[in-house]
Amino acid sequence: MPIYTAPVEDMMFLFEKLRDNKNYNELEKYKEVSPDLVKDILEEAAKINQNLILPLAKVGDENPAVLENGVVRTPPGYKEAYQKYIEDGWTSLSCDPKYGGQGMPKTVSAFFDEMLSSASLSFKLYSELSIGAYNCINHHASDEIKNKYLPKIVEGKWSGTMCLTEPVCGTDLGLLKTKAERQADGTYKISGQKIFITSGDQDLTENIIHLVIARATDSPAGTKGISLFLVPKFVVNEDGSIGSRNGISTGSIESKMGIKGSATCVLNFDGAIGYIIGEKDKGLSAMFTMMNLERIVVGIQGLGISEIAYQNSLAYAKERKQGKTNKTKSPNGADFIIEHADIRKSLLNMKSIIEGERALCFWLSQQTEVSLNHPNEKVRQEASDYVSLMTPVVKSLFTDLGMEITNDAMQIHGGYGYTKDQGIEQLYRDNRITPIYEGTNSVQAADLVFRKLFNKNGDIINKYLDLIKSETKLTNEKIKPFIEEFTYYLNILTKFSAWISEKTKTDKDDVSAAANDYLKTLGFVSVAYAWIKVLDISFKDYNENKNFYNDKINTAKFYFEKVLPRAEYHYKTAISGSSNIMNFKFN
């Protein structure tokens, strides 16, 4: 079984030293969220993830969720762990106190999401979609529905799902066939089939609240005719008690490459009672409240799995002896593999990416809270644009690099990484879904270049570039070499953005072919921006904690020398265009 120690020290460093967003610090609701409180929360989170949830990863992989006589049964130990999990209040961490939540900001809950992803992604998925459903209902449902459903979801007694995909449509939701027939009492009868539904059924909660997109029988075709419905597994009575079983059944559980402990279900809706959420025919905009936050969380999944892969690789490299190095430490025997330059390079690659991603995610968490809670509408909108811009980047880059890191972890472990004994190959398999679900990474890249760079609010990418430039005008002599290097790649990103803007008007195939490369260039530069913020603190406060800050400075140095140059490679690849791609004749 893999080892795992939650990186509480690094998380607390970010919370204490990089909480530098002026607009975020103006939010009254978080004034009392002190570092001491956050440290207590993270230390307790570390305990439950390390001691209770981590062992479930292997259990779930070896004993997957099963469907027996129409009932989904979760792996051994899941029920008991989930009961402890909700008793300790972890499902309520970021929810509104009005519904029984603890009211913690994303700057705290994102750290918990990372820990939980490291410990067991399969277990995490049973509560993760519940938070997404909570957010969607909280933003778009009537007060009656909020008061009826949210307290139980926040408590963890009821869970939530997101039901989009159908056999006839994946990303192209305009093709969906699930229909909704309005009834005389204002409810709807939902009929159709949904596939790939994460935690679509399970035996952990008393009820499951499905958020289902469907087309009302009198609505137009395409995406303009989609509405969102709340469809409970069990109908909820007027007094809040659970009533009869609704018209929902589980057809099957997908047999998957990874996350086997998570029940990914085919759900059949047969005249199930549903309640409309938000406006009729405006269901996609409501569902995107859930999807956009979920995409960031999926990026954090990639980060969490990368962290545990790194920790195990480092530990293994310190105890495994193999071959002799150029500066051998053991003249009469083999050296530990951590002494080999190539192994050290792989480990530093992992470490520099992970810590940079965590810092960028913390920056994004602050922007998310500003976009949701700042009293000034203009400030909220600007933050919302930054979140919109960076959502596909975090989702895609973190998960793609998670595949790279878990692959390298297997390589460091050698044959032991390929076998099941160490649990490393499971990390690779579990992470493999993250670049796929919530919109594949290619879909994310297309969304970025065609919709997010420039929108109704103007030239978002250049606003972001201006923000970066203003925040990296630092005068400390020690940081200047990093700033000079960073400026070089920032200029490449600026040129790339201009190229995308021009090509959008003249040749959209060029843009499509370049989309993934552009996303990665933006991502690598954005992680470097986060590293500049970390370096600024590291040089200023160096004497406070020399060992910690020296580690940060040298890790950043590796990122700038060995990782950031990949941004230029993607730029050069992209601007070669798409003519050969589109004219190529496949046999």
Note down pLDDT in tens along the chain; length 587 residues. Answer: 899 999 999 999 999 999 999 999 999 999 999 999 999 999 999 999 999 999 999 999 999 999 999 899 999 999 999 999 999 999 999 999 999 999 999 999 999 999 999 999 999 999 999 999 999 999 999 999 999 999 999 999 999 999 999 987 766 777 789 999 999 999 999 999 999 999 999 999 999 999 999 999 999 988 889 999 999 999 999 999 999 999 999 999 999 999 999 999 999 999 999 999 999 998 888 877 777 888 999 999 999 999 999 999 999 999 999 888 877 766 678 899 999 999 999 999 999 999 999 999 999 999 999 999 999 999 999 999 999 999 999 999 999 999 999 999 999 999 999 999 889 999 999 999 999 998 899 999 999 999 999 887 779 999 999 999 999 998 889 999 999 999 999 999 999 999 999 999 999 999 999 999 999 999 999 999 999 999 999 999 999 999 999 999 999 999 999 999 999 999 999 999 999 999 999 98
In 451-583 the beta strands, taken as DSSP E runs, fall at: 454-455, 458-459
With contact defined as beta carbons under 8 Å apart, do 258 and 429 qualify?
yes
Instruction: Report residue 200 as tokens.
Output: 């679509």
Q: Which residues are catalytic?
A: 438
With contact defined as beta carbons under 8 Å apart, do 427 and 409 qualify?
yes
pTM: 0.96
> How far is it, in rounded angstroms, from Cα 378 to Cα 392?
23
> How far is it, in rounded angstroms, from Cα 356 to Cα 486?
14
Helix (H, G, I), strand (E, B) or coil at 489: helix
Tally the C-alpha atoms within 13 A of residue 256's C-alpha that lie toward its C-beta: 31
> How far is it, in rounded angstroms, from Cα 106 to Cα 437?
22
Helix (H, G, I), strand (E, B) or coil at 385: helix
Q: Among positive and negative, which fits the CA dihedral 74, 214, 174, 282?
A: negative
The per-residue b/e assignment along 5-30, b for 16 or more CB within 10 angstroms, e otherwise, is ebbbebbbbbbebbbebebbeebeeb
Of 55, 39, 159, 122, the C-alpha closest to 301 is: 122
Instruction: Report residue 189 as tokens.
Output: 């009868």
With contact defined as beta carbons under 8 Å apart, do 209 and 169 qualify?
no
- Terminal CA-to-CA distance of the chain, rounded, Å? 47
CA angle in degrees (0–180, nearest 5) for 421-422-427 = 115
> How far is it, in rounded angstroms, from Cα 480 to Cα 535?
11
> How far is it, in rounded angstroms, from Cα 204 to Cα 436?
26
Neighbour count for residue 166 (Cβ, 10 Å) = 19
Helix (H, G, I), strand (E, B) or coil at 106: helix
Helix (H, G, I), strand (E, B) or coil at 57: helix
Q: Cα torsion at 336, 337, 338, 344 (round to 10°)? A: 160
The values of phi and psi at residue 251, to 5°, are -80, -40
With contact defined as beta carbons under 8 Å apart, do 207 and 242 qualify?
yes
Instruction: Report residue 180 as tokens.
Output: 């909704």
Amino acid (one-letter) located at 267: L
> How far is it, in rounded angstroms, from Cα 544 to Cα 12?
15
Instruction: Judge residue 123's burial from the number of C-beta atoms within 10 Å of its C-beta, 0-12 exposed, 13-18 middle, 19 or more buried.
Output: buried
**What is the structure's pLDDT at 456?**
78
> How far is it, in rounded angstroms, from Cα 148 to Cα 242?
11
Of 486, 514, 516, 534, the C-alpha closest to 361 is: 534
**What is the structure's pLDDT at 329?**
64
